[in-house]
């Protein structure tokens, strides 16, 4: 699905569906980080109109996702709780090549954003299939569709600033690296990643 090279370990969804409070809290922060990432792209690349316009839309959507997760938490009598460590994101962000041409760095940022969208989309699909709560199944289905759109949007945006062949080659490298990261991390059913 979505080009990912390693499917999520089936144990993840088994544990996750039994840890709804933890999953919702961690998920809320995933939406917050997605919104923050969009904002920082806008601030770092203000002269790129297409990027600014696209990221502005994405930020609004990610923030509305955050609001929706917050509402699901409240409905169940839970509070947001503190942000948890996100080793997956830390490892993924290390794949960004610093220095060199700024367009190459921008491409890496956009492709890493696409990877996170793709993996989130895969996990939302699993939740939409396995969660007992009918309302949450629908919720995760809707968000899966939205994150799939973000995934393609980030990939397309990368092609605005770098030749398609270079983007495709780097995308394959990053897909391999992401699979290695997923394989190296413990299966945490209390985290989204």
Residues that bind Fe ion (CB under 5 A): 31, 34, 62, 65, 117, 147, 150
Q: Which of 50, 47, 51, 27 is nearest to 39 (CA)?
A: 51
Comparing CB distances to Fe ion, the nearer of 52 and 166 is: 52
Least separation in angstroms between CB 121 and Fe ion? 8
Q: Which of 31, 5, 4, 53 is nearest to 157 (CA)?
A: 53
Q: How far apart are CA 52 and CA 16, in angstroms?
A: 35
Least separation in angstroms between CB 18 and Fe ion? 23
Least separation in angstroms between CB 163 and Fe ion? 26
Comparing CB distances to Fe ion, the nearer of 34 and 181 is: 34
* Burial of 21: CB neighbours in 10 Å, binned 0-12, 13-18, 19+: middle
Comparing CB distances to Fe ion, the nearer of 149 and 184 is: 149
Least separation in angstroms between CB 101 and Fe ion? 27
Comparing CB distances to Fe ion, the nearer of 150 and 170 is: 150
Q: Which of 57, 35, 58, 54 is nearest to 45 (CA)?
A: 54
């Amino acid at each position: 699905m979505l080009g990912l090279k390693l499917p999520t370990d089936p144990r993840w969804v088994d544990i996750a569906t039994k840890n709804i409070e933890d999953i919702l809290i961690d998920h809320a922060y995933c939406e917050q980080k997605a919104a923050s990432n969009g904002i920082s792209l806008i601030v770092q690349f203000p002269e790129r109109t297409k990027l600014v316009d696209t990221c502005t839309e994405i930020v609004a959507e990610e923030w509305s996702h955050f609001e929706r997760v917050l509402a699901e938490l409240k409905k169940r009598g839970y509070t947001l709780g503190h942000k948890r460590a996100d080793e997956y994101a830390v490892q993924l962000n290390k794949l960004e090549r610093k220095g060199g041409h700024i367009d190459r760095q921008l491409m890496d940022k956009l492709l890493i954003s696409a990877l996170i969208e793709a993996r989130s989309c895969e996990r939302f699909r699993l939740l939409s299939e396995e969660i007992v709560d009918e309302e949450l199944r629908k919720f995760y289905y809707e968000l899966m569709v939205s994150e799939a759109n973000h995934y393609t949007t980030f990939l397309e945006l990368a092609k605005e600033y770098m030749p398609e062949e270079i983007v495709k080659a780097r995308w394959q490298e990053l897909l391999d690296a992401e699979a290695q990261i997923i394989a190296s991390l413990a299966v945490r059913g209390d985290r989204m990643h």
